[in-house]
């Protein structure tokens, strides 16, 4: 399988603080990799570097075999991102927002693309609604539509189902599973929802204090650490002392 | 009434202000700038009561020109701030847009916004006051062009600050025009300023633009040198602002401001 994301020994320092301490990992085509870790472990910083929003202090990132540092625009054309901490302009209608972002990503056949995403994400009835007036679940699906507007090869998800009710959360997870199978995209999923990670991810990376402290398939990690589920593994690793504590 | 709760809320704002240099600066310079600007205006009119005798509408014309500059600069900043307020900033910067594309789009949008405000103002001055800014003739275009470029330049400089320092730089966005107003010699000739302020004024394009507007209206002559100096200074400051924006973008990527556009 081809690696769509290749991260080679990236570090990020803010002054003397080491936010990410030389991590490496790959994400294959048609794979969902989970990025786990307690708050402040370096997940968001890692995603920021993959999106080109943060410059690594050292190390290299390749997306679809292109070096990020030298091909920022080409790479941004093939990736996208969703996070509950960023929103679309509230005063625009859903359709206006999707249209604007389709233009920014130079999408061909915009109407067709919006129609396809509206059907898949069940937002057809929301297209003429004001984005700021939507519920959390509706906003989440609209943000997901925006994140898929450019048919990304790589999707970065930062807590994509945070603050959603179980039904909408399940809908989003099922959608992501189906979409990944259909389009064979790579997804990097940062989440605190261990059930979600167990269900969606082929393998996971456990981060703490800017380092990868363990990695593997969820079931293998559970066996390795003698626990009954991934949440227990997470708690064990989070509470363990590291040399940087 | 609970003094504890009142004190608690006071602390919330006090901590915010004391942790942000731009906010402290904002508190200090607003009164200083207002007093300085109106001091010079008062001083000028007290000693030159006959200066505008033969040129009805000079002040109004200069007010319209200044307003155009103000709207262009603030308009540009607003476009940038809108993205921060709506938490759309990250979405914008992960879209495959070159910095040049972002700036060009904002520059065009700011122009349209300014023109929407300018046209009614020009149309109103004639029936209400019997004055037409069009009396400035063909040079009106060059004066507006210079003001537009300088307004955009200020907008880009402030946006660079927002990129580098985050939303706490917002207050500066609102007040750059007022900071420069005393040196721009909008309502009075440059001779009104103390010598040290004149030296500062001469390195800004504003003084040449407003001196020329008054020259055309009062003396009915055109000094092409003023237009030329304004243009050359604009080219210099505009280039500087673009370079600074790129620098700030790279600095923000190092510092992490692009993913932490919070309070």
Domain definitions of chain B by residue range: 21-259
Residue pLDDT, tens place only, A81-98:
999 888 899 889 999 999
**How many angstroms separate the CA atoms of A171 and A165, rounded?**
10
Within a 10 A sphere around the Cβ of A140, how many other Cβ atoms? Answer: 23
- Convert the pLDDT of each residue in B85-143 to its tens digit: 888 888 999 999 999 999 999 889 888 888 887 888 778 777 777 777 777 788 888 88
Nearest Cα residue in chain A from B98: A73
* A171 near B CB under 8 A: no
> Which among B96, B97, B253 has the least Cβ separation from residue A53?
B253
Q: Is A83 on the interface with B (CB under 8 A)?
A: yes
> Chain A residues with CB inside 8 Å of B92's CB?
104
Asked if B104 is an interface residue toward chain A (Cβ–Cβ < 8 A), one would say no
Q: What is the mean pLDDT of residues A195-199?
A: 92
Q: Is A86 within 8 Å of chain B by CB?
A: yes
Q: How far apart are CA B233 and CA A242, in angstroms?
A: 58
Cα separation, B143 vs B148, whole angstroms: 9
In chain A, whose CA is at the least distance from the CA of B253?
A: A54
How distant is the Cα of A84 from the closest Cα of chain B, in angstroms?
Answer: 10
Secondary structure of residue A207 in the 3-state scheme: strand
Query: Which own/partner pairs from B30-37 qualify as long-range (CB within 8 Å, at least 24 positions apart)?
Result: B30/B175, B30/B178, B33/B175, B33/B178, B33/B179, B33/B181, B33/B182, B34/B178, B36/B182, B37/B178, B37/B181, B37/B182
Q: Is A62 on the interface with B (CB under 8 A)?
A: no
Alpha-carbon distance of A163 to B92, in angstroms, equals: 23
**Domains located in chain A, CATH noted:** 1-78+153-245 (3.40.50.300), 87-151 (no CATH)
Higher pLDDT pick, B37 / B208? B208
Cβ–Cβ contact B90 with A under 8 A? yes
Which residue from A54, A101, A146 is facing B256, i.e. has the nearest CB? A54
Chain B touched by A103 (CB under 8 Å): no
Among the listed residues B3, B6, B24, the one whose alpha carbon sits nearest the alpha carbon of residue B172: B24
Rg (CA), chain A: 18
pLDDT band at B13 (very low <50, low <70, confident <90, very high): confident
Which of B101, B105, B250, B256 should one mutate to test binding to chain A, selecting the residue with the greatest count of A CBs within 10 A?
B256
Which residue, chain included where needed, has tokens 């030298």? A70
Give the three-class secondary structure for A12: strand
CA distance A144 to chain B (A): 12
Q: Kindly state the average pLDDT of the residues A46-53.
A: 95
Q: Which residues, in sequence order, are bridge partners of residue A211? A: A208
Q: Do A101 and B97 touch (CB under 8 A)?
A: no
How far apart are the CA of A228 and the nearest CA of chain B, in angstroms? 36
B193: left (phi over 0), alpha (psi -120 to 50) or beta: beta
Mean pLDDT of chain A: 93
B255 touches A at CB < 8 Å: yes
Tokens (6 digits) for A225: 């650490």
Taking the Cβ of residue A48 and every Cβ of chain B, the question of whether any pair is shorter than 8 Å is answered with yes
Residues 6+ apart with CB under 8 A from A228: A222
- List CB contacts (< 8 A) between B250 and chain A: 55
The two beta strands, A3-14 and A58-63, are: antiparallel
- For residues A239 and B124, give the distance between their C-alpha atoms in angstroms, rounded to a whole number: 71
| Facing residue for A76 by CB, picked from B83, B95, B255 | B95
Instruction: Tell me what the mean pLDDT of segment B173-183 comes to.
Output: 78
Stretch (H or E) spanning A110: helix A110-121
Chain A interface disruption, residue of B78, B89, B96, most A CBs within 10 A = B96
Q: Does B263 touch chain A (CB under 8 A)?
A: no
What is B61-112 written as a DSSP string? HHHHHHHHHHHHHHHHHHHHHHHHHTT-HHHHHHSS--HHHHHHHHHHHHHH
| pLDDT averaged over every residue in chain B | 83
As given in the structure block, the two tokens for residue A31 are 């794979």
DSSP string, B225-242: HHHHHHHHHHHHHHHHHH
Contact B88 A104 (CB under 8 A): no
Chain A, chain B: beta-carbon pairs less than 8 Å apart: 70
Tokens of B150: 């300088």
> Which of the pair, B76 or A187, is modelled with greater confidence?
A187
Q: What is the mean pLDDT of residues A153-167?
A: 91
Least confident of A159-168, B53-62, B235-244: B53-62
Check pLDDT > 70 for residue A223. Answer: yes
How far is it, in rounded angstroms, from Cα A220 to Cα A217? 5
* pLDDT band of A104, cuts 50, 70, 90: very high
State the pLDDT at residue A241: 63
Q: pTM for the full model?
A: 0.84
Residue A149 confidence (pLDDT) above 90: yes
The gap from C-alpha A107 to its chain's centroid, in whole angstroms, comes to 21
Please report which residue ranges of B86-215 form alpha helices under DSSP H: 89-94, 99-129, 139-165, 170-184, 195-202, 205-214
Phi, psi torsion values for A110, nearest 5 degrees: -55, -45
Set of chain B residues whose Cβ sits within 8 Å of the Cβ of A16: none
């Amino acid at each position: 399988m081809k690696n769509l994301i290749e991260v080679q020994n990236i570090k990020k320092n803010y002054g003397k603080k080491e936010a990410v301490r030389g991590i490496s990992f790959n994400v294959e085509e048609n794979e969902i990799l989970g990025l786990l870790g307690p708050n402040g472990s370096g997940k968001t910083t890692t995603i920021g570097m993959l999106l080109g929003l943060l410059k690594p202090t050292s190390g290299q990132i390749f997306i679809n075999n292109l070096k990020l540092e030298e091909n920022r625009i080409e790479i941004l054309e093939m990736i996208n991102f969703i996070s509950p901490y960023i929103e679309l302009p509230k005063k625009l209608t859903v359709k206006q927002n999707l249209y604007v972002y389709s233009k920014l990503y130079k999408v061909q056949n915009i109407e067709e693309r919006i129609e396809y995403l509206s059907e898949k994400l069940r937002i057809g009835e929301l297209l003429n609604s004001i984005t700021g007036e939507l519920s959390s679940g509706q906003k989440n699906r609209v943000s997901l539509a925006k994140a898929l507007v450019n048919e990304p090869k790589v999707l970065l998800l930062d807590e994509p189902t945070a603050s959603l009710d179980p039904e909408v959360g399940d809908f989003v997870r099922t959608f992501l599973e189906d979409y990944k199978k259909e389009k064979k995209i790579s997804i990097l999923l940062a989440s605190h929802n261990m059930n979600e990670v167990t269900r969606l991810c082929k393998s996971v990376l456990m981060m703490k204090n800017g380092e990868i402290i363990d990695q593997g398939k969820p079931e293998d990690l559970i066996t390795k650490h003698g626990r009954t589920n991934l949440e227990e593994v997470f708690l064990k690793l989070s509470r363990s002392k590291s040399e940087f504590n | 009434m609970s003094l504890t709760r009142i004190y608690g809320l006071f602390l919330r704002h006090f901590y915010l202000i004391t942790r942000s240099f731009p906010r402290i600066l904002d508190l200090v310079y607003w009164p200083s700038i207002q007093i300085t600007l109106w001091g010079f205006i008062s001083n000028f009119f007290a000693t030159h009561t006959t200066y505008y005798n033969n040129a009805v509408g000079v002040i109004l014309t200069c007010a319209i020109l200044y307003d155009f500059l103000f709207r262009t600069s603030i308009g540009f900043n607003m476009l940038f701030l809108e993205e921060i307020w709506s938490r759309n900033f990250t979405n914008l910067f992960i879209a495959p847009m070159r910095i040049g594309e972002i700036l060009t789009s904002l520059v065009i949008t700011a122009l349209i916004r300014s023109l929407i405000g300018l046209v009614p103002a020009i149309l109103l001055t004639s029936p209400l006051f019997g004055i037409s800014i069009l009396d400035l003739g063909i040079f009106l275009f060059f004066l507006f062009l210079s003001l537009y470029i300088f307004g955009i330049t200020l907008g880009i400089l402030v946006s660079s600050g927002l990129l580098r320092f985050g939303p706490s730089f917002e207050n500066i966005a609102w007040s750059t025009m007022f900071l420069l107003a005393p040196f721009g010699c909008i309502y009075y000739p440059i001779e009104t300023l103390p010598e040290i302020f004149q030296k500062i004024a001469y390195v800004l394009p504003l003084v040449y633009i407003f001196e020329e507007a008054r020259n055309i209206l009062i003396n009915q002559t055109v000094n092409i040198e003023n237009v030329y100096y304004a243009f050359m200074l604009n080219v210099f400051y505009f280039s500087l602002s673009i370079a600074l924006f790129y620098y700030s973008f790279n600095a923000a990527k190092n510092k992490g401001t692009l993913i932490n556009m919070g309070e």
